[in-house]
Amino acid sequence: MLTHKESNLDISRNLFDAALFDLDGVITKTATLHALSWKSLFDEYLQKTGKSDTPFDISTDYPLFVDGKPRYEGVKSFLESRGIILPYGSPSDPPGKETICGLGNRKNLIFQELLKREGVTVYRGALALIKLMKEKNFKIALVTSSKNASLVIKSAKLEGLFDIKADGLDLEHFNLKGKPHPDLFLYAAQKLGISPSRSIVLEDAESGVEAGKRGNFGMVIGVDRTGHGEVLLEKGAHVVTSNLSQVTVDGEKPDITLPINELPDAREVLERVKLELILGKKPFVALDYDGTLTPIVDRPELAALSKKTKKTLQRLKKVATIAIISGRDLKDVKNLVGIEGLTYAGSHGFDIESPIELKKTFREGEAFLPNLDKVESILRAKIQNIEGALIERKKYSIAVHFRLVNPERVKEIEEGVDR
């Protein structure tokens, strides 16, 4: 069995015909909004009634009592954990009424307000995997306990992506049991006309993974967004991954360009990296200058590249594409490294020069040059008499160095910069 630290997960079209995706935490980042909504609801209720001194803990209470469950079941589950028993009430109860349904409706109102204010962010890896699976003629279902699925899909502009949708409204209409019972997944598979054994469940919630296991689905993929991969495996996931962009279909990778904050930790996908190198892929290596290629020093002009590091870069250049990215001016960092054939990005990317005939200066920065000139003059007037202070003017930025300043006078520099 694969663990959540392994990444060589390949889905075979010969073995499976459908994929059933959960929504919150798998496709969209709305799980955070749900968690905040639950905390707001329960903390408000517990404080108001004085029925418990222990507030709702997102790290423990959310995955254990509410994540993945239908809203009213989540309310009941959490309150019972605090020894609180309330009447069920009716789905028509006004938000906040002291019933299971009333509190559930209050949570829904809080969530919708957060959704309207914050919007929806989509996990690009999940979206790319869905598109790849559709190209391979997989049937794709959206399966979620949420009654807000249509609202979230519209907000995220995902209309038309799924062959069918099974949500909290279906749970209520057909009187199905919520997760960890498999009813909703089985309903979705039946609606697609695909047997569970030929279907894949993708879930981030412990209750959802358990539902996939109980339904005897052919594969259950746990999606670990919060570091609880081992628990998902214990609940029945066949494999756990932290990023769906790492999943391949018949050996083909999803077509995706990920932002840095969604890239997997290289240490966790080292085997995948080795495999790509063996297959002849040429790596791209981006390196900072100060503090990465050279030690941090007291004065910027003292940051010199060692002979050993320079030789290492020259060796690496033979097998990889290298970019040196720095806050220094382009000409400065290029002279300091002194190796031809590399890509250099100065001024934090505002000025780029590359051997592939790329010489680009982003004109957005040009408009701010007069302002930078004024700021430089003001800063020099304010701190020029502070011993050890150094102002380094770059084309598109100004750096104020104070490593050599007496600690008692650092606050003067901070105040001068803030003004």
168, 258: one domain? yes
Q: Cα dihedral angle (382, 379, 303, 395), rounded to 10 degrees?
A: -170
Per-residue pLDDT, averaged over 17-37, amounts to: 92
247, 215: one domain? yes
130, 257: one domain? yes
Domain count for the chain: 4
211, 237: one domain? yes
Asked whether residue 198 is domain-assigned, the answer is yes
Question: Please, are residues 294 and 303 in contact by the beta-carbon 8 Å criterion?
Answer: yes
190, 249: one domain? yes
Q: Which two tokens stand for residue 15?
A: 């073995």
Question: Please, are residues 392 and 300 in contact by the beta-carbon 8 Å criterion?
Answer: yes
Which pLDDT score is estimated for 261? Answer: 74
Per-residue pLDDT for 343 more than 80? yes
Q: pLDDT digits over 354-374, tens only?
A: 887 655 555 566 777 888 888
Across all residues in the chain, what is the average pLDDT? 89
Q: Which residue has the higher pLDDT, 419 or 51?
A: 51
> 9 CB contacts (<8 Å, ≥6 apart)?
2, 221, 239, 241, 246, 247, 248
Q: Which of 4-18, 172-186, 332-346 is predicted least confidently?
A: 4-18
Q: How many CB atoms are closer than 10 A to CB 366?
A: 12
189, 299: one domain? no
Distance CA 44, CA 60 (A): 18
- Structural domain range at position 138: 10-28+122-262
Per-residue pLDDT for 46 more than 90? yes
> 161 CB contacts (<8 Å, ≥6 apart)?
127, 130, 140, 142, 153
Place of tokens 């209309």: 159
Question: Please, are residues 232 and 4 in contact by the beta-carbon 8 Å criterion?
Answer: yes
Q: Which residue has the higher pLDDT, 2 or 8?
A: 8
Q: Is 243 helix (H, G, I), strand (E, B) or coil?
A: coil
Asked whether residue 315 is domain-assigned, the answer is yes
| Catalytic machinery residues | 22, 24
Mark which of 231, 262, 293 sits at the end of a domain: 262
Per-residue pLDDT for 2 more than 50? no
Q: Give kind and range of the element (H or E) at residue 152.
A: helix 149-155
Here the CATH number for the domain that contains residue 218 is: 3.40.50.1000
